[in-house]
């Protein structure tokens, strides 16, 4: 399918979120639907944001919203203006212990994937700061370093998804996303500029071994991020089909629930050991999956669900 890049309009860009269970936020704003990075493992096409909009996407030329993920992008150009109106009228702000009232940009797309989306993101951040809201950026693109003039702020933390630093592996799994080495450099630039930063080691592919995690934690710890989230790849949905279509045969090994859980637990142990060796255990924040409960002591999962991060918000 040729790439489709267009626009879309939405009534209310501010959505309450259940991602407080991952200690990320209480609200999300998605600047676009679709994502040109098209990561093979991406879970977004399986979420209601795409599944409940399949018909509309098809009417706009997307043949298969699941399998064609990465080939379409509908930018919501008016988000900042609409958000300003919504926030001016809003009287009640939801603040949970783990979500801390934070607004996440974005949960269903990348807020800095290209210049058009970055332009909207910049305007949205300004509106959120104007209304004194806490902001969490999550991206795979170094373009955010163009906005350091506004992102160096106590109410903003910027995170990059960096499951490993290996450009060859990155090209096979996240073919259209910026190089992992460039992401690391961007975090370094942001940190040196005084930006609050965090890292999402997510999702880690099953091909990583103990020494990969040790090297990764050693390098990331030098950045002194405020928190390091971690979760392994889950290839049990249509994302597994996309990974196989991209030639990622390794994902066959984790496609059953039992194999997925086994890999999750093996990597969990490696991650905790590696974090400990790099003296950053206190920064490690596990994103557990409730479906692990049949495979480990349920308390291990409960311990992490809704647990506030170590991050300090003023
Ligand atoms: S950058 Fe994020 S939203 Fe975009 S395809 Fe990759 S995982 Fe999905």
CATH code at position 282: 3.80.30.30
Residue by residue, DSSP assigns 108-141 as: SS-TTSSHHHHHHHHHHHHHHHHTT--EEEEES-
Residue 227 within any structural domain of the chain:
yes
Residue 101 within any structural domain of the chain:
yes
231 lines ligand 1 (CB under 6 A): no
44 lines ligand 1 (CB under 6 A): yes
39 lines ligand 1 (CB under 6 A): yes
Assign 136 a pLDDT band (cuts: 50, 70, 90): very high
Nearest CA to ligand 1 atom 6: 39
143 lines ligand 1 (CB under 6 A): no
Least reliable range by pLDDT among 42-56, 92-106, 244-258, 265-279: 42-56
Nearest CA to ligand 1 atom 8: 42
Residue 94 within any structural domain of the chain:
yes
Report how far ligand 1's centroid is from the alpha carbon of 299 (Å): 30
Q: What is the DSSP secondary structure assignment for residue 188, as one 8-state letter? A: H
Residue 43 within any structural domain of the chain:
no
128 lines ligand 1 (CB under 6 A): no
Q: What beta strand segments (E) does the chain contain?
A: 4-7, 14-16, 27-29, 32-34, 72-75, 103-105, 135-139, 156-161, 196-204, 228-232, 284-286
- Closest ligand 1 atom, residue 174 Cα: 6
* Contact (Cβ atoms closer than 8 angstroms) between residue 295 and residue 263: no
Residue 73 within any structural domain of the chain:
no
For residues 275 and 283, what is the distance between their CA atoms, to the nearest angstrom? 8
Residue 104, pLDDT > 80, answer yes
The confidence score (pLDDT) of residue 141 equals 98
Helices 210-221 and 257-277 pack at an angle, to 10 degrees, of 50
- Mean confidence (pLDDT) of the chain: 96
Residue 39 within any structural domain of the chain:
no
Residue 4 within any structural domain of the chain:
no
- Closest ligand 1 atom, residue 140 Cα: 1
110 lines ligand 1 (CB under 6 A): yes
Global pTM?
A: 0.97
Note down the domain range covering 97.
11-27+79-302
Q: Please report, rounded to a whole number, the percentage of residues in the chain having pLDDT higher than 90.
A: 94
Residue 142 within any structural domain of the chain:
yes
Number of domains in the chain: 1
Rounded to an integer, the average pLDDT of 165-182 is 97
* Contact (Cβ atoms closer than 8 angstroms) between residue 46 and residue 54: no
Residue 39, pLDDT > 80, answer yes
| Three-state SS at 192 | helix
Q: In what order do the strands lie in the sheet with 4-7?
A: 4-7, 72-75, 32-34
Residue by residue, DSSP assigns 224-264 as: --S-EEEEE---SSHHHHHHHHTT-GGGGGG-SHHHHHHHH
38 lines ligand 1 (CB under 6 A): yes
Q: Please report, rounded to a whole number, the percentage of residues in the chain having pLDDT higher than 70.
A: 100
């Amino acid at each position: 399918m040729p790439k489709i890049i267009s626009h879309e309009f939405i009534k209310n860009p501010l959505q309450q979120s259940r991602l407080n269970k991952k200690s990320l936020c209480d609200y999300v704003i998605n600047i676009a639907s679709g994502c040109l990075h098209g990561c093979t493992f991406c879970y977004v096409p399986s979420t209601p944001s795409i599944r409940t909009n399949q018909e509309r996407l098809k009417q706009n030329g997307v043949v298969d919203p699941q399998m064609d993920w990465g080939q379409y992008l509908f930018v919501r150009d008016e988000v900042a203006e609409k958000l300003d109106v919504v926030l001016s009228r809003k009287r009640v702000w939801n603040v949970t212990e783990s979500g801390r009232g934070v607004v996440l940009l974005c949960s269903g797309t990348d807020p800095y994937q290209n210049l058009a989306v970055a332009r909207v993101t910049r305007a949205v951040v300004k509106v959120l700061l104007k209304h004194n809201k806490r902001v969490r950026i999550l991206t795979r693109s170094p373009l955010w370093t163009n906005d350091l003039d506004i992102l160096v702020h106590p109410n903003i933390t910027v995170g990059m998804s960096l499951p490993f630093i290996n450009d060859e592996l990155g090209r096979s799994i996240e073919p259209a996303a910026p190089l992992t080495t460039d992401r690391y450099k961007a975090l370094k630039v942001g940190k040196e500029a005084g930006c609050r930063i965090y890292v999402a080691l997510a999702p880690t592919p099953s091909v990583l071994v103990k020494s990969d995690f040790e090297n990764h934690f050693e390098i990331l710890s030098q950045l002194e991020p405020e928190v390091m989230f971690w979760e392994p790849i889950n290839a049990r949905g249509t994302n597994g089909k996309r990974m196989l279509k991209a030639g990622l045969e390794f994902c066959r090994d984790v496609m059953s629930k039992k194999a997925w859980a086994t890999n999750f637990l093996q990597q969990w142990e490696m991650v905790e050991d590696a974090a400990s060796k790099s003296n950053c255990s206190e920064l490690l924040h596990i994103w557990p999956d409730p479906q692990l409960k049949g495979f480990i002591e349920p308390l291990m999962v409960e311990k992490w669900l809704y647990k506030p991060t170590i991050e300090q918000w003023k």
